């Protein structure tokens, strides 16, 4: 009808199957979402409506780690950062939540990729976890660098180690686990050591800026997944704007995954 295509997002009623802390303020929630599980692609996200808390008007945008298409289930991992996520963490098993998805564009992993480097920091590990599983399912060799502020906030590294053929390297800002410092340290070392044909990064903007700059210097395609506060998730409110070399884009509809070479980092 002569307009851009609307979002693929649809409203689903989800049942909470599991809900528990996994590492300090990092929680996981497993949801039965029916058909939505088969629609989600690695790097896409959902917007969760938290009920029973008057102060939460907008939905919470969350990434997923994995889907179980046969069971119609998805797993979301998130950090409790405010009233909305705190309310979500108190959600009881068996209750229902409104979920809007699939939202956004996920990672673009070419079929002929041979070796991929995945780099995460903090809750950036969530979409990187999903990307890793997507690479493994296609038989692509992967190395993963997982960064966290401290040992008590690390999760998912054992699961990643059991999946990937390459290395899983851990870093913590305080040195309480793995290498001391940001994930950019081991990531830059790996970029110098090994030949990659794709780099995927999600985490704090300085991490994405530093790692993507080196990848671009080396001529390796690099994608970053950006986090923004957002009110709708489907292109209506203009709150999740991303500065790119092609002008302002929206993280919800044009991203959250962008080619790193197009992003103007702040």
> What residue ranges bind another protein (CB under 8 A)?
1-4, 6-11, 49, 54-59, 82-84, 100, 228-232, 234-241, 243, 247-248, 266
Helix or strand or coil: residue 259?
strand
Whole-number Å distance between alpha carbons of 182 and 172: 6
Of 38 and 238, nearer to another protein (C-beta) is: 238
- CB burial of 202-212 (b: ≥16 within 10 Å; e: otherwise) equals bbbeebbbbbb
CB neighbours of residue 108 within 10 Å? 14
Determine which helix (DSSP H) or strand (DSSP E) holds 129, and give its type and residue range. Answer: helix 125-137
Q: How far is the CB of 140 from another protein (least distance, A)?
A: 32
Pair 238, 214: CB distance under 8 Å: no
Q: How far is the CB of 84 from another protein (least distance, A)?
A: 6
Of 136 and 231, nearer to another protein (C-beta) is: 231
Q: How far is the CB of 55 from another protein (least distance, A)?
A: 4
Of 9 and 178, nearer to another protein (C-beta) is: 9
Of 56 and 142, nearer to another protein (C-beta) is: 56
Q: How far is the CB of 228 from another protein (least distance, A)?
A: 6
CA dihedral 145→229→103→266, nearest 10 degrees, is -60
Of 41 and 115, nearer to another protein (C-beta) is: 41
Tell me the β-bridge partners of 201.
119, 224
CA dihedral 174→195→226→53, nearest 10 degrees, is -60
Q: How far is the CB of 239 from another protein (least distance, A)?
A: 4
Of 37 and 232, nearer to another protein (C-beta) is: 232
């Amino acid at each position: 009808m002569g307009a851009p295509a609307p979002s693929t997002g649809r409203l689903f009623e989800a049942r909470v199957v599991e809900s528990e802390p996994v590492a300090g303020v990092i929680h996981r929630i497993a949801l039965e979402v029916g058909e939505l599980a088969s629609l989600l692609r690695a790097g896409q996200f959902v917007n969760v409506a938290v009920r029973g808390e008057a102060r939460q008007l907008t939905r919470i945008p969350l990434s997923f780690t994995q889907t179980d298409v046969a069971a119609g289930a998805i797993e979301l991992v998130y950090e409790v950062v405010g009233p909305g996520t705190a309310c979500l963490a108190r959600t009881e098993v068996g209750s229902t939540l409104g979920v809007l998805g699939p939202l956004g564009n996920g990672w673009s992993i070419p079929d002929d990729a041979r070796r991929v480097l995945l780099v995460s920091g903090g809750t950036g590990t969530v979409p990187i976890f999903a990307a890793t599983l997507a690479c493994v399912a296609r038989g692509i060799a992967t190395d993963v660098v997982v960064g966290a502020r401290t040992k008590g906030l690390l999760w998912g590294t054992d699961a990643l180690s059991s999946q990937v053929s390459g290395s899983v390297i851990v870093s913590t800002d305080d040195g309480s686990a793995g290498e001391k410092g940001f994930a950019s340290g081991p990531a830059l070392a790996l970029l110098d050591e090994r030949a990659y044909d794709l780099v995927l990064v999600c985490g704090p903007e300085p991490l994405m800026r530093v790692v993507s700059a080196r990848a671009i210097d080396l001529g390796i395609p690099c994608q970053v997944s950006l986090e923004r506060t957002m009110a709708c998730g489907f292109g209506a409110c203009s709150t999740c704007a991303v500065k790119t070399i092609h002008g302002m884009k929206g993280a919800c509809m044009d991203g959250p995954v962008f080619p790193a070479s197009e992003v103007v980092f702040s």
